[in-house]
Amino acid sequence: MTLTGMKKHVSVLELARLVTTEKVGRVRTCRLGERGLEAEAEWIEAHRKLFEARFDALDKVIFDIKQEEEDGSANE
Amino acid sequence: MDQQTSNSAAAQNRTTVERKSDRELVVTRTFDAPPPIVFRAWSQPDLFRRWWVPKGAGISLISCDLDVRTGGKYRLEFGAGEDTMAFYGKYLDVVPNERIVWTNDEGEEGAVTTVTFEDRGGKTLLTFHELYPSTEALEEAMAGSAAGLPTQLDQLDELLSSTEA
């Protein structure tokens, strides 16, 4: 990879906040940024799965309440 | 008794999660019942405890105290093996069949959660919205359960090689 190519790559990563860089003299040091895209995507997917499991169970509870109400009004 | 068909209905209802801004996270789902029924399932402890903790996660709900009205408090205690964990806070705003707003006070920078129940022709569009006090607080909440650095590094490798062209 050329130095110019490398610089271009790093600036893309920096814009995406995946890395932060610091230049001291002729040396630019890169660090992983606070924002890891993969980690965020994983977390969102884990969160979605948690809520999906909750809401599937909530669907059943709602079904039961509707059932009870129907039974209740049928007996009146 | 009627045949239970709730599973096929559940399969059609999609749960979406979106990071709406640096401080906000939004979960939505549509339920096949009008808002008063969904609100009941959310505000009565005996109903709430039947669905809040997913089965098979190795976690049990030990106690569940909910006083769902403006100014009321809640406290949930979970058990995982020997450990117990408590979540608690206050209801800032409760409008029956419309919305519930509560604080999450167990941590220092807890989110404010707002759940709204909107009537959509006899169904309910539920929106679960979390607002964190800062970007850092949201990212910390994410980092708390994130799988960690190795995948992040792999992703960085991929990104570097894909920009090669």
Residue B84 has pLDDT above 80, yes or no: yes
Distance CA B83, CA B61 (A): 12
pLDDT at A3: 76
Instruction: Enumerate the domain spans of chain B.
Output: 12-138
Q: What is the mean pLDDT of residues B23-31?
A: 94
Q: Quote the minimal CA–CA distance from B57 to chain A in Å.
A: 10
* Nearest CA-CA partner of B87 in B136, B18, B38, B141: B141
pLDDT at B148: 33
Q: What is the mean pLDDT of residues A6-19?
A: 71
Residue B17 has pLDDT above 50, yes or no: yes
Q: How confident is the model at residue B57 (pLDDT cuts 50, 70, 90)?
A: low
- Cβ pairs A/B, distance under 8 A: 115
CA angle A65, A68, A69 (to 5 degrees): 85
pLDDT at B136: 86
Instruction: Enumerate the domain spans of chain A.
Output: 1-35, 36-76
* Nearest CA-CA partner of B65 in B102, B33, B27: B102
What mean pLDDT is reported for chain B? 82
Chain A hits for B50, Cβ within 8 Å: 57, 61
pLDDT at B79: 85
| CATH no., domain B12-138 | 3.30.530.20
Chain B interface includes A43 (CB < 8 A)? yes
Residue A60 has pLDDT above 50, yes or no: yes
Choose among B10, B17, B142: nearest Cβ to A59.
B10
Q: Which of A26-40, A48-62, B72-86, B115-129 has the lowest mean pLDDT?
A: A26-40
Q: Are B109 and B94 in contact (CB under 8 A)?
A: no
What mean pLDDT is reported for chain A? 79
Which residues neighbour A61 within 8 Å (Cβ) at sequence distance 6 or greater? B41, B47, B50, B51
Q: B31, B48, B129: which to substitute to probe chain A, counting the most A Cβ within 10 Å?
A: B31
Q: Do A59 and B153 touch (CB under 8 A)?
A: no
Note which residues in 2-21 of chain B have CB less than 8 A from chain A: 2, 4, 6, 9-10, 13, 15-19
When comparing pLDDT for A20 and B63, which is higher?
Answer: B63
Q: How confident is the model at residue B56 (pLDDT cuts 50, 70, 90)?
A: low
Chain A interface includes B95 (CB < 8 A)? no
Q: Do B31 and A62 touch (CB under 8 A)?
A: yes
